[in-house]
Structure 1
Amino acid sequence: MWSDPGEVVAVDARREEFTRSGYLVLPEMVPRALIDRLVPEVDRWVDDGLRARSIACCTDTVQVSAPPVMELELPAHGALLTHPPLMDVLAQLIGSSFVFHHLHSDRHDAGRGGKPWHHDREPNASADPSLTMVHALHYLGGLDETVDSLVVLPGSHHESASKDSRTHLGTSELPDEIIIDRLPPGSTVLINSGLFHARRPAPPVSDRFRYFVDASYCQTGTQWRPAKPYWRHMLSRARSLGLDGGRWPELFAERHFTEYTQTA
């Protein structure tokens, strides 16, 4: 129970804003010490081909197997996944019972190109739009004019639309969009996973890397479609590593998921 009335008002305002707009910016959510551990892990993930192997294990329709290493097995990535301040904000926004869905990590090279307008919400077995899925987008080096920006379309999570219904628009400017392109290192943007967003490319004038990690979480109360065919192994490994810290008993529970189905 909160004892500070001012904190109650602030939390209520944060929740209302997230519900209305579908996103929340959390500057410097990731501490410097954790950033310094995460960056070399992302480099290893990309340079050693671990990311490519992880993707291959999700696209192989002949033989489903887990990759040799998963993101959450990298110590700093595991710490980020259950970073206590992040967990506390998620509990404020969607309630204290939520389950981990997936973790992605990447390093975007200069001139790589953007990612078209899309959303990332997965369906749930109840087809219940009131249950929330959240993506935590972590920008380890922050955002500025030298790297691709994040663009969001506030309120679009209230629509009933397929993930790719705006993909044909590329990364073009849309009415009412918000450009997020000035963030200090370690900043996190929480988005309702149904919110349309895009990665808009920056002019290719810099060789700076864009270090990006995203983790997603689903409100409990139904079964969600998993993102990876080896999802049971992923959740089991998270439990064996004790990543929940004893605080979040539902975070890696298998009962919150349907069977995996391959999607286009």
Structure 2
Amino acid sequence: MTLTPPVRDDADGPTRRFTETGHLVLPGLLPDDLLRRLLPEVDHWVDRGLRERSIASSLAPDRHGPPPLVELEMPAHAELLTFAPLLERIAALMGGPFVHHHLHSVRQGPDTEGKPWHHDREPHDGDHADLLMVHALHYPAGLDATMGHLAVLPGSHRERAGKTARAHLGTSVLPGETVIADLPPGSTVLLDSALFHARRAVPHRGAGRDRYFIDASYCQVGGRWRPAKPHWRDTLRRARRLGLGGDRWPDLFDERHFTEYRAG
């Protein structure tokens, strides 16, 4: 398989590139000090069963209630979520204020299955279809040939299609796709959340390294967005209680930018 070089940031207009392709690669964005603290937190989140508890709380909220810990309550994850160079870049793409939507953290082993083509944009109740939702895909340990690859379909964010409109294609190679398979530790890929993308399993399963992956998303202010989890209000309250975002990002954890949660 031929790997198409990803579109990378440059001085000539990353916002234009993002608008055209729907993605932006930021190699080595995260500093080493943050990475040294981030990786053990991901291990703690996974190995102590906290991730499974969070999933259970989302699937059966009446039975489990809010999880005892959410990702943004871990110090390095909170720092990542509000990392100034990241938020400044997102603000430039948004062209205005934005709100935090969700934060997911996982360590994926070499045997992890691929994930079919999909997009992650949530609906909102505003009148403006062009309101932007951005996913920041963080790879604290980088990406290499021993890990699952990220495939994106440039330009597909301009379609009006359901999240699973290409799921029947599995993780198959599509014309015009870009494959991102080689990134240094601490790299981030920004996606327009409406961009179709897939995760491909490594060709030789079981022989690779763990793939550390943290997914954070942000929504442009202007419509009320559908929240990601049933305990979303509790998560935003915890963030405000911790003082995350501060005065510089007043809308970042504001509940008024969301509708009620609806499963499915």
Structure 1 length normalisation: TM-score?
Answer: 0.93
**CA displacement, residues 201-231 of structure 1 (integer Å, 9 cap, x when unaligned):** 1122524100000100000011000001111
Deviation, structure 1 residue 112 = 1.2
**CA displacement, residues 12-32 of structure 1 (integer Å, 9 cap, x when unaligned):** 711111111100000111111
> Cα gap change, 1:161/1:64 in structure 2, threshold over 3 Å: closer, same or farther?
farther
Moved more, 57-66 or 235-244: 57-66
* Amino acid corresponding to residue 193 of structure 2 in structure 1: S
CA contact (8 A) 1:118 1:166 kept: yes
Q: Does 1:160 align with 2:163?
A: no
- Show the counterpart of 1:26: 26
> Cα gap change, 1:61/1:247 in structure 2, threshold over 3 Å: closer, same or farther?
closer
CA contact (8 A) 2:202 2:208 kept: no
CA contact (8 A) 1:64 1:229 kept: no
- Show the counterpart of 2:212: 211
Secondary structure of 1:199's aligned partner: strand
- Show the counterpart of 1:43: 43
Provide structure 1 residue ranges, at least 5 long, that are not aligned to the other structure. 1-9
Aligned residue pairs: how many? 254
Secondary structure of 1:198's aligned partner: strand
Counting only pairs closer than 5 Å after superposition, residues 165-180 of structure 1 correspond to structure 2 as 165-180=165-180
Secondary structure of 1:138's aligned partner: strand
1:189 & 1:176 partners in 2: Cα distance? 18
CA contact (8 A) 2:50 2:69 kept: yes
CA contact (8 A) 2:117 2:198 kept: yes
Counting only pairs closer than 5 Å after superposition, residues 218-257 of structure 1 correspond to structure 2 as 218-257=219-258
Q: Does 1:14 align with 2:14?
A: yes
* Amino acid corresponding to residue 177 of structure 2 in structure 1: E
Q: Does 1:259 align with 2:260?
A: yes
Counting only pairs closer than 5 Å after superposition, residues 172-191 of structure 1 correspond to structure 2 as 172-191=172-191
CA contact (8 A) 1:102 1:216 kept: yes
* Amino acid corresponding to residue 135 of structure 1 in structure 2: H
CA contact (8 A) 1:146 1:205 kept: no
CA contact (8 A) 1:121 1:193 kept: yes
1:160 & 1:217 partners in 2: Cα distance? 20
Moved more, 58-67 or 189-198: 58-67
1:54 & 1:163 partners in 2: Cα distance? 23
CA contact (8 A) 1:98 1:219 kept: yes
Deviation, structure 1 residue 64 = 6.3
**CA displacement, residues 119-178 of structure 1 (integer Å, 9 cap, x when unaligned):** 000000126321000000000111110100100000101001110111111100000000
Provide structure 2 residue ranges, at least 5 long, that are not aligned to the other structure. 1-9
Deviation, structure 1 residue 113 = 1.4
- Show the counterpart of 1:148: 148
Counting only pairs closer than 5 Å after superposition, residues 56-205 of structure 1 correspond to structure 2 as 56-60=56-60, 62-63=62-63, 65-126=65-126, 128-203=128-203, 204=205
CA contact (8 A) 1:99 1:252 kept: yes
Which 4+ residue blocks in structure 1 deviate beyond 3 angstroms?
61-64
Secondary structure of 2:234's aligned partner: helix
